[in-house]
């Protein structure tokens, strides 16, 4: 229910190609950065990924390959309960090690085009599905993303298209390559001091989730519609190669396919969460 996506992904809220959740320092000499982000809720494409108000930890590493516009990235996904003993078997099913490659190119300081491919490897999913769901399904998927940002216009209007490809077709009972997620975003950064910056981001997204429908489950159905209308404020402080940041995030979920829990029937249209993190660039 929570997982649906495949050939295009790892985007949302920060507008960098090969994005990682935190804001990172620019102008680094080597192009290598690493860090750790925490969010009090893992909101993803209209749903709470680990369940309502369950946090997530994102360790990440990013390498920019000189002036080529190419980037390589790693992103981990772990329920914040991994730090204690509260992680459920369902949480562990979705622990991820994600790997990506991206390209970004700016034309005349007016338009930036981007492309990236990420593979989301849920390495526990087969064993955990055997344990709790009596199947051996692999929940891993790949996502391909293309983006266009108009830097010359105020608020940098940006459109992002993500297309997913799922590894496992559940014994031929679901589509694997029809999911897509389209975003439109606006953002603006304010330089508060020489070290501190505030970035405001707002967006709206449409999600088509064909993988939600299984041929052998009459109660399942494809889901589609506006999955999230989002706003975020992220303040960061940069000292040398180190960056620390904190954010406040809000999402409104207008479409019933996304705001009503398929299991409990409970409606939740409003989602708030906070985040903070740190990174270091060489």
Task: Encode the chain (282 residues) as per-residue pLDDT tens digits.
Answer: 334 333 333 333 333 333 334 434 444 457 999 999 999 999 999 999 888 888 999 999 999 998 899 999 999 999 887 665 567 888 888 999 999 999 999 999 999 999 999 999 999 999 999 999 999 999 999 999 999 999 999 999 999 999 999 999 999 999 999 999 999 999 999 999 999 999 999 999 999 999 999 999 998 999 999 999 999 999 999 999 999 999 999 999 999 999 987 667 788 999 999 999 999 999
As given in the structure block, the two tokens for residue 175 are 């589509």
Residue with tokens 């051996």: 136
What is d(CA 30, CA 106) in angstroms, rounded to the nearest whole number? Answer: 20
- Quick check: 4 and 212 in contact, CB under 8 A? yes
Rg (CA), the chain: 19
Say what the pLDDT of residue 83 is: 62
Contact 245/212 with Cβ under 8 angstroms?
A: no
Q: How far apart (Å, rounded) are the C-alpha atoms in residues 187 and 21?
A: 15
pTM for this prediction: 0.86
What is the model's pLDDT at position 82? 62
Instruction: Give the pLDDT confidence score for residue 85 in this predicted structure.
Output: 53
């Amino acid at each position: 229910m929570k997982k649906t996506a495949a050939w295009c992904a790892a985007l949302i809220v920060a507008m960098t190609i090969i994005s990682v959740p935190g804001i990172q320092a620019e102008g680094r000499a080597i192009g290598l950065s690493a860090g750790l982000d925490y969010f009090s809720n893992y909101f993803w494409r209209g749903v709470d990924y680990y369940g309502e108000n369950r946090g997530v930890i994102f360790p990440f590493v990013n390498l920019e390959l000189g002036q080529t516009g190419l980037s390589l990235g790693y992103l981990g996904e772990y329920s914040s309960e991994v730090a204690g003993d509260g992680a459920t078997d369902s949480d562990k099913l979705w622990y991820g090690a994600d790997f990506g490659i991206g390209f970004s190119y700016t034309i005349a300081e007016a338009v930036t085009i981007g492309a990236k491919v990420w593979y989301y490897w849920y390495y526990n999913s087969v064993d955990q599905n055997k344990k709790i769901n009596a199947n051996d399904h692999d929940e891993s998927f790949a996502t391909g993303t293309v983006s266009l940002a108009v830097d010359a216009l105020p608020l940098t209007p940006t459109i992002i298209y993500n297309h997913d490809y799922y590894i496992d077709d559940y014994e031929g009972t679901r589509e694997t390559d029809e999911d897509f997620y389209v975003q439109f975003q606006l953002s603006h950064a304010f330089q508060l001091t020489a070290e501190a910056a505030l970035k405001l981001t707002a967006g709206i997204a449409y999600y088509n989730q064909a993988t939600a429908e299984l041929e052998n489950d009459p109660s399942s159905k494809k889901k589609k519609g506006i999955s999230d209308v989002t706003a975020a404020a992220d303040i960061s402080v940069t000292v040398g190669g180190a960056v620390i940041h904190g954010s406040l995030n809000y999402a409104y979920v207008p479409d019933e396919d996304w705001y009503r829990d398929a299991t409990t029937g409970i409606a939740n249209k409003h989602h708030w969460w906070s985040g903070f993190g740190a990174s270091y660039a060489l």
